[in-house]
Chains A and B, each alone.
Chain A
């Protein structure tokens, strides 16, 4: 979660090895995507992989979807440089899964078909709520996509030895084109397989590095920490290296912690993964698998991060072309030379590809299913036309994110900022409405709209007036200053406000809540009656 990889000509390792490992991943996943596409017939196939993915497979795919390049390179780097404060990120990202497990996953699997809006609009006026949910889905997905695309360009520049604006832009175009291809041909099933392969490679790669680092220190955590202290000083074990500077940074950290823990269960691409399994029990099983895999991975990151601090040292990391994000690749090089570096680099590219494919299919499904089929066609459209619209939307979203990704990369926009923004928007615009819809009998359409639009507008508005956008040396625009909001992450204000607006909007609305639809929602969500069935092939 740190600054974008700087674009410099220096590379580490052997670009040929990096390229060939990445190429092998692309070839294998393309073959699997083609095979997966043979079964893509209906909308349920395209959006939800026919609901035939098993709980275990889906758990792996969720881990593949969730562990983005920001997680892998960013957290290890943050731990290597800031020590303890980097560790705090991974805790927030993990604990957040309990919200999904206990309150959201099974209930949503039982009541939705394809998108988050299926649940949010269930007992409300369809048109306005679906439109609002689709807009917020598009915003969250686009911010997340931008971060990944910008990261891809920077990472490739670092590891493949290409440099210069044109070459980086070309890399973003190639990544975008591959992503569009996976989504168009493979649909949700192909995307799921790509994510499963990627999660396996990523977790295995991290495990190898973890064991290797621990072996250097006689499998003793205390000696590893001692190594990090010897290299960087005692403060790497203590809180505050990054966020303890002033009262504003402390509040900022609390704001970030809130956005992280409440954001996950509102991320549309995570929610959509719950619909790919046959039953709510499989949804539960997939979250349980995801929690163990993601938790295990973050424990590995702790060792990798402190290992990089101890064995590579923060000076060498910060001097490398990728800056803080180079910690894991540099540690791989230190441990296993060019081969291990090549593997880790290949895995990092694979990570970005799998995550962008998942985001694209979510955003395209939301537009086609919620806006086109339900709002524009009032649910009377042809399902085949809907899937066609979803495919066209995937191409448009891919093209837009290629364009914006190139701009973000060249403007040097911080990846961490974009990912944290996606979490903050998800926690502000989506989670309050999801929880009210599932658990509050009197919740109304007006409450839902106030909460979604209020959360979205306040969240993005506060970011525009934050020090991230203007007024400081490190801001996106340092030449003017409209920053009156002191925090870099808006969650501390926007999330409680969105909960409040959902309550207020409901209290002041004149419409009566739909008791019949609430009975249907509640009975369906807890018993699974009427839940969408798996497609038989």
Chain B
């Protein structure tokens, strides 16, 4: 195995493109090294992206934010401006693993690992986040919900690398929130999760995005659930419709962490609670 630590995204892409064997990108390594340890993968090349300046920084502003692919969960949690603009995105990322894991794990790693239960992803989808992808001949910007195509599968080509996540312009009176259900208080994988992002005007929801995790093969954007609350003051009737739309969108599996019935029901419950938090954060009563 060869270890490379390029200084630019272009160099990283060139290394990935020229490798004939199995090449992997290393950011925090909290998934990659586990897979190596368990002999699930045997890399011929590892490309460490942490030395690439364009991937190391956070720019947070109400006119748009950008988070480098190598930024750790801990760094994200210490960025007060980003936390103020996008508390749901930051809290979702900070739910991943322990303090030790937070010291290394990244949002983009969580996305590219492509787990249906990835905590950062529903919050990013709800936020309208985009991935800035660098390839051999071009750059492209893709909505986060288009990245994961199945468990452990992404739409990225083998010589493409995500350089950063961008978050859109933040209108005044906006708020987001992410909730997950786990049977313990910490250090677990979501059984069900919900991310909500909304903007209000005079108490009325003017725009919203709703995303669910761990209830299908990929995290889901649920436009019907957003429509259920747009134009309302998030009254009980609207919340009931939101919960029903979320439950309808679920295509979960039965496993040791939860049954189909349980996940379907709890998706609605979590969406309801997350919507209330987001509404409050937006300045709604």
**A and B held together in a complex:** no
Point out residues on B near A: beta carbons under 8 Å. Answer: none
Point out residues on A near B: beta carbons under 8 Å. Answer: none
